[in-house]
Amino acid sequence: MTICHTTDTTFTNDLKSEGLTLVNFWATWCAPCRFFGTVLEAFDREHNSDVRILKVNVDEEANTAAQFGVMSIPTTILLKNGEPVEKIVGAIPVEELKKFIDGHKN
């Protein structure tokens, strides 16, 4: 799978109803968001069959950000079977992201 840039209109359809979906809320002006974007790309190259990754630009897609109560960026929410299970606020290295996701695979 590739990283999918989703919108308020397409979010529900882009969301993976079964399995794990990682939703990253970001903005172009946010330096930690840009750093974490490279982490997500590296993770996707190795684990693209395990987890669907959606990116939501909070400046353009405010409704989806509000729906999840996003107050700071980057915020990344892990959903399992379409339901939120855990949230990360801030940028983390790829190793921590792997541990974060591995804890929810079963």
Residues belonging to the active site:
30, 33
Contact (Cβ atoms closer than 8 angstroms) between residue 44 and residue 53: yes
Q: How far apart are CA 2 and CA 92, in angstroms?
A: 20
Q: How far apart are CA 101 and CA 63, in angstroms?
A: 25
- Tokens encoding 82: 């379409």
Neighbours of 42 (CB within 10 A): 13
